[in-house]
Homo-oligomer: A and B are copies of this chain.
Amino acid sequence: MNDTFLKACRGEDVPYTPVWIMRQAGRYLKEYQAVRSKHDFWTMCKTPELAAEVTLQPVDILGVDAAILFSDILTVLEPMGQKVEFIEGKGPVVDNPARDRAGVERLRVAEPESELGYVMEAIKLLRRELEGKVPLIGFSGAPFTLATYMIEGGSSKNFLNTKMMMYREPELFGSLMEKITDTVIAYLGAQIKAGAQAVQIFDSWAGALSPQDFRTYELPHIKKTVGALKGDVPVIYFANGAAGLLDELNETGADVLGIDWRVDMGRAARVLGKDHALQGNLDPLSLFLPVEKLRESVKDILDKAKPAKGHIFNLGHGIVPQTPAEAARDLVEAVHELSRRA
Contact = CB atoms under 8 A, between A and B. Distances in A.
Interface stretch (A29-37, A98-106, A194-202, A260-268): A260-268
Given A158-B285, A241-B241, A244-B243, A264 B164 contact: no
Interface in A240-292: 241, 243-245, 247, 261-264, 267, 283-286, 288-290
Given A213-B283, A261-B210, A262-B207, A289 B243 contact: no
Interface in A271-320: 283-286, 288-290, 293, 297, 300, 316, 320
A264 to B, nearest CB: 5
A159 interface: yes
Given A212-B300, A243-B244, A300-B212, A168 B262 contact: no
A6 interface: no
Q: Which of A164, A285, A286 neighbours the largest number of chain B CB atoms within 10 Å of its CB?
A: A285
Copies in the complex: 2
How big is chain A's contact interface, by range?
Answer: 35 or more
A296 to B, nearest CB: 10
Contact of A264 (B212, B267, B293): B212
A283 B208 CA distance: 9
A320 B244 contact: no
Given A167-B290, A168-B288, A210-B261, 5 more contacts: A210-B262, A210-B283, A213-B283, A241-B241, A243-B262
14 contacts: A158-B320, A160-B322, A163-B288, A164-B288, A167-B286, A168-B289, A207-B262, A210-B262, A212-B264, A212-B300, A241-B241, A243-B262, A244-B264, A244-B267
Interface of A: 158-160, 163-164, 167-168, 207-213, 241, 243-245, 247, 261-264, 267, 283-286, 288-290, 293, 297, 300, 316, 320, 322
